[in-house]
Structure 1
Amino acid sequence: MEKTLSKQGVQMESRFLSYMEKYDYENLFICQDNATGLKAIIAIHDTTLGSAVGGCRMWTYNTENEAIEDALRLARGMTYKYAAAGVNLGGGKCVIIGDPKTQKSEGLFRALGRFIDRLGGLYMTGEDVGTTLRDMEYIRMETEHIVTLPKELGGAGPISYATAFGVVQGMRACVKEAMGTESLQGVRVAVQGLGSVGYHVVEILHEEGAELLVGDIDQAKVEAVVEKFGARAVSPETIHAEDVDVYCPCALGAVINDNTIEQLKCKVVAGSANNQLKEERHGDMLHELGIVYGTDYIINAGGTVYDTDRLNTGGFNYERAMGKVTRIYETMTSLINISKEKNIPTYKAADLFAEQRIEEVKNAKALRTRI
């Protein structure tokens, strides 16, 4: 049935198109299936380096606009993440509007798999917030364009440890800049969020001899970590204000904002959470305060670097994949050097680093077509 757009609908469309034009997005797909209840958005930012890859997130978004904004923002982040990590993939993201605790079904994920398959490899998906390896298996029943899979299906299996390992490598580079040592022995670290990645961050830091403070809204997780690793429990709402060397946010984004910056007592901010800066100017403020910021999409790239190792390599290899994750230390060190040379915040250095690689590859591909 033909439907006329309301004035509000036209304004919404104009706003998203303007945003896509500003950051040079390629595609935005809206997917729905009445039979399974699927409502999903697939955003593709840039495919200069290769097919767009990004996880499939399921979340209880308050509005459709909020879901679209999240997909667009996360897709662009994936472009920069892969470019800076030296991986030949572009950036994309899929978000499903729904409660991951009550609205999942095999049919819903298989319907999404059919939509992804129609794109013919333009976009490949994987596990993300609210989705699991089991969900990825359902998607795989309908399309081969999927990255995150169990080992028995040729994938890398769980990726949270690799993400955490990469975070610690990036943290180490930041600590060296701020404190003059690569060792994390005795370094006071406040870890906010004890999900699958945060837990492994604590585990690795404990092995390194760090002094740990931890906080999470789930008290059971806190108690388990305190008992196993000897960490000290603090409030998750005020953990950012603790007198520590490193503040390590591993939960929600936007934790670096006008309110929290005034309360920071750390030398380094380095964690796995996406979009830690509420606004870009907050990265400028960290720089002015002399706090070394481990740019989120740089140091949390370990999981996706590990996960995508099997693409274009003939299969997954653990040693090769973890070797790539270890390089996050080198990448973060390079960004710190660029930051100092140009007197710019590390988040701007990271963007510059990624954009230069994309431009170089774009020029190389253009040369190939002219011969």
Structure 2
Amino acid sequence: MPAFWTEQDFDDHERVELVRDRASGLTAIIAIHSTHLGPAAGGTRFWHYEEPAHAMRDALRLSRGMSYKNAMAGLPVGGGKAVILAADRSRTKTPELIAAFGDAVEALCGRYITAEDVGITEADMVAVSKRTQYVSGLPVPGGTAGGDPGPFTAMGIYHGIKAAVAYKLGKESMEGVHVALQGVGSVGGGVARLLARDGAKLTLADVDAERAAALAGEVGGTPVAADVIMGVPCDVFSPNALGAILDDEGIARLDAPIVAGGANNQLARPEHGRALAERGILYAPDYVINAGGIISVTLEYLARREGREGDINEVRERIAQIPVRLRQIWEESDKTASTPDAVADRMAQHLIGR
């Protein structure tokens, strides 16, 4: 694995740790981008990478994105991310591995607060919490902040898509608006159900074709193969799987005036924000539209530290601000001829003192 400081995605990160525990087989990267606003908060991803360097790149990009996301959401936390490298394609996970990861988080003495992300469940976070107090996304009583962040992420994306449709298409209703969703897991599936309730026309795809077909049957949508979803003619393309899909090839395939979804790091490189703009495609910066989950788990964590339950109404109020921030970004983009991703980056960098 190359030194992290030679990576083009290294952005003056405060701390990057490679964690190795031979007994459990744990290999993990914990990247702390910024603690300017508070302890670094961000989930843990469990994934099989063909090359270890890809895991480092993911950790660096995701942790920087968390700094920006948390700052733009007005949360009193910084940005960090952990990546656990699965040893095999089936992503075998053991209690010993999860326990060792919890010990690694505890060793950072509160500089990093973890929660769920791709490949990690609420049950995994419960196991981690037996080894460290610096964890969120734990089961909570109904009607309180916290727990599985997926539904809250979906809620924010849903509101963001509606804002994008109003801004770009001038439509205040989602009735008949065609949305093509890439990825229909916890987040994408939640977005689809919310949009279906509003009468949107849905095309769905997932690497698990049976899951896409089942959800399509539930919401009255149309399932398509995962390798064709980006070329479906639609009003909104909503990426809700893994990132870096908006590269030269992906952008060329798009047949939609709006890109708005929950995947992290959707732009393969910074120049792809300009490529979208040159095609007249309105882009909702990912770390702004998908902040609902981190809002919930952060408020859960802060409340637990104070010995109280998190306020679900505060979560909803903060999520309701996501469309407001998006509109501010788009208006500034139109006024300055900067791309929405560049405008959002400048705003976030100012907030974290960069």
Offset at 1:260?
A: 2.4
Offset at 1:127?
A: 0.6
> The residue matched to 1:32 in structure 2 has which SS?
strand
* Alignment match of 1:78 (pick from 57, 66, 77): 66
Decide whether aligned partners of structure 1 residues 269 and 196 sit closer, same or farther in structure 2, where only a CA change above 3 A counts. same
Asked if 1 retains the 8 angstrom alpha-carbon contact of 2:116 and 2:149, the reply is no
Asked if 1 retains the 8 angstrom alpha-carbon contact of 2:145 and 2:311, the reply is no
Residue aligning to 2:26? 38
Deviation by residue 1:344-371 (Cα, 9 ceiling, x = unmatched): 1110111011112223xx8xxxxxxxxx
How many Å separate the matches in 1 of 2:38 and 2:224?
43
How many Å separate the matches in 2 of 1:319 and 1:310?
12
* Alignment match of 2:94 (pick from 105, 108, 130): 105
How many Å separate the matches in 2 of 1:263 and 1:60?
27
Larger radius of gyration: 1
How many Å separate the matches in 2 of 1:264 and 1:292?
12
Asked if 2 retains the 8 angstrom alpha-carbon contact of 1:45 and 1:75, the reply is yes
TM-score of the aligned structures, taking structure 2 as reference length = 0.93
Offset at 1:164?
A: 0.8
Asked if 2 retains the 8 angstrom alpha-carbon contact of 1:306 and 1:324, the reply is no
Residue aligning to 2:218? 228
- Counting helix residues as a fraction of each chain, which structure ranks higher? 1
Q: Counterparts of 1:148-167 in structure 2 under 5 Å? A: 148-151=137-140, 156-167=146-157
Offset at 1:182?
A: 2.7
> The residue matched to 1:351 in structure 2 has which SS?
helix
* Alignment match of 1:333 (pick from 316, 327, 333): 327
Asked if 1 retains the 8 angstrom alpha-carbon contact of 2:48 and 2:85, the reply is yes
How many Å separate the matches in 1 of 2:140 and 2:125?
12
2:254 is aligned with 1:264:
yes
Asked if 1 retains the 8 angstrom alpha-carbon contact of 2:28 and 2:85, the reply is yes
Q: Counterparts of 1:46-57 in structure 2 under 5 Å? A: 46-57=34-45
Identical aligned pairs, as a percentage? 38
Offset at 1:18?
A: 4.0
2:298 is aligned with 1:308:
yes
Decide whether aligned partners of structure 1 residues 339 and 67 sit closer, same or farther in structure 2, where only a CA change above 3 A counts. same
How many Å separate the matches in 2 of 1:48 and 1:20?
22
Asked if 2 retains the 8 angstrom alpha-carbon contact of 1:100 and 1:131, the reply is no
How many Å separate the matches in 1 of 2:217 and 2:255?
26
TM-score of the aligned structures, taking structure 1 as reference length = 0.89
Offset at 1:308?
A: 1.0
Structure 2, unpaired ranges of 5+: none
How many Å separate the matches in 2 of 1:348 and 1:87?
21
Residue aligning to 1:88? 76
Q: Counterparts of 1:192-211 in structure 2 under 5 Å? A: 192-211=182-201
How many Å separate the matches in 2 of 1:36 and 1:262?
44
How many Å separate the matches in 2 of 1:242 and 1:164?
22
* Alignment match of 1:255 (pick from 240, 245, 248): 245
Q: Which moved more, 1:230-239 or 1:337-346?
A: 230-239
Decide whether aligned partners of structure 1 residues 319 and 241 sit closer, same or farther in structure 2, where only a CA change above 3 A counts. same
Residue aligning to 2:15? 27
Offset at 1:250?
A: 1.1
* Alignment match of 1:277 (pick from 256, 267, 282): 267
How many Å separate the matches in 2 of 1:69 and 1:253?
12
The alignment yields a C-alpha RMSD, in angstroms, of: 2.0
Asked if 1 retains the 8 angstrom alpha-carbon contact of 2:71 and 2:351, the reply is yes
Asked if 2 retains the 8 angstrom alpha-carbon contact of 1:149 and 1:155, the reply is no
How many Å separate the matches in 2 of 1:300 and 1:175?
16
> The residue matched to 1:352 in structure 2 has which SS?
helix
Offset at 1:125?
A: 0.5
How many Å separate the matches in 2 of 1:212 and 1:21?
35
Residue aligning to 2:113? 124
> The residue matched to 2:237 in structure 1 has which SS?
strand
* Alignment match of 1:290 (pick from 277, 280, 284): 280
Q: Which moved more, 1:246-255 or 1:291-300?
A: 246-255
2:311 is aligned with 1:317:
yes
